[in-house]
Amino acid sequence: MKTVYKIVLGSLLLVTACDSDLDQVPPNIASSDSLEDFGGVVNAAYFYQHGSVTPMAVMGDFRADNALMDEEPYPEFDRFGPDLTVMEDQFFGPFYTALYKSILSANNVIENSTDDGDIGQAKFLRALSYFKLVLVFGDVPINLSATPSTTDPSILARQPVDDVYNNVIIPDLQDAIGLLDTEIVNGRASRYAAQALLGKVHVYRGDFSSAESPLASVVNGASSAGIALQANYADIFGEANDLNSEIIFATQISSSVVDEYGDSEFWSWYGGLDTKSLLPLDPDLIAAFDASPGDLRREVNIDEDLLASPKFPQTGGPDHDWIELRLADVILLYAETLNENGAPATQVLSLLDPIRSRAGVPPLDPAILNTRAQVRQAIQDERRLELAFEGHRWFDLVRTGTVDAEMGETVNPNYYIFPIPISEILATDGVITQNPGY
């Protein structure tokens, strides 16, 4: 049975993201300097990740060539123009606000707790939040204070992506690795989760030399913590399989805990249960599975009759966890890293063998795929099939520079990222600026 983090009263003093909301401290709540146990505040940092889940899923798969929108204006996700801003209230606003709430909760723990485990989890969650923010928006404001000024608008200015990585995300994950235990307890962040995310961050930056060590630590050492590929691909997904052995870290979701996100959840979008996309399955993904005959992942990911994905079944839908990191993802990132660092094709492709064997497809032949470019493409093809409908595809295309080739059109790079919520721009009198093209 999975454990879902409950928000206790003490966590409620950490309310919001930035701008005018910074001064909204609920009445009759203990201040942080009177708290001794910050467990509830850590729980708040976990809880606020919920609001990022569905927007990340929609941006990751519906912006890419895995899924389609049907009803206007939602096909703007497929048109690469300036009009995504009309969907701010459903996707970009809740995403932005939820992650800054998680960051503010994490800041309180980091600044005030004396418990290494709490601080390690908070640093992991703050890094995860900022990683999601820069993937989606590019430059973003940095706040590392539990009590940011409510009168200094300069703290709201967006900071360059590289600064967010170098000054927050990477140092936080390095600290988390030193503070967290390797054992995964009740699905909380562990040292392996921090190492996996650090390696992923370096891959997304194209820094493969830095990515190799943390990814190797996970791939080679995870079994000691009980982390292993599931024997059956289908057994990774669905409410009954939450927190299975392949999951390194997931945002835990429960229908018994009220979620701040008020619209259709990710499993509804993928399953064609929202009227804006009753037939979400992109024919391009069907073609990708056609190119992998006998692939057992096909029936888990696509239903060609319904033109939707059954990956997260409607039964138990409100209780599906959102997988942030799982072992197969990390193995594929490690294989990609080794290939970019000049390892031979035999070594790189052998890492894919357990994943492909589970899928019922034969190993890739290094005698045929014997150049770095060929192996690179094979790994990206594998990631598409293995991680379909898990929110990765668009961000993989952007980081690998393959948007135009895979989408079959020339996409203005302005639209590789998404619009800053207009509400944030207005509330700060333009201190927070909009991304070009929106």
Q: What is the pLDDT of residues 88-144, one digit of tens each?
A: 999 999 999 999 999 999 999 999 999 999 999 999 999 999 999 999 999 999 999
Give the integer Cα–Cα distance in Å for 365 and 193. 31
Say whether pLDDT at 81 is over 90: yes
- Mention every residue, 6+ apart, whose C-beta is less than 8 A from residue 200: 211, 215, 325, 329, 330, 333
Residue 139 has what DSSP assignment?
A: S
The pLDDT tens digits for 156-169 are 999 999 999 999 99
Phi, then psi, of 227 in degrees rounded to 5: -90, 125
55: in domain = yes
202: in domain = yes
The pLDDT, as a whole number, for residue 157 is: 96
Strand partners, 323: 250
Instruction: Residue 354: give its domain's CATH number.
Output: 1.25.40.390
Phi, then psi, of 243 in degrees rounded to 5: 60, 35
247: in domain = yes
Average model confidence (pLDDT) across the chain: 92
Give the integer Cα–Cα distance in Å for 40 and 24. 19
- H helical segments located in 4-79: 39-47, 50-57
Residue with tokens 């690179």: 376
Two tokens, residue 220: 């080679």
Residue with tokens 């942080």: 32
2: in domain = no
Q: What total number of domains does the chain contain?
A: 1
311: in domain = yes
**Which range, of 28-32, 59-63, 71-75, 169-173, averages the lowest pLDDT?**
28-32
The pLDDT, as a whole number, for residue 28 is: 31
191: in domain = yes
Work out the end-to-end distance of the chain between its first and last CA atoms, rounded to an integer number of angstroms.
Answer: 44
Query: Which range of residues forms the domain containing residue 263?
Result: 9-152+159-419
Comparing C-alpha atoms, which of 325, 339, 350 is closest to residue 400? 339
CA dihedral over 306, 311, 313, 319, signed as positive or negative: negative
424: in domain = no
431: in domain = no
Say whether pLDDT at 11 is over 70: no
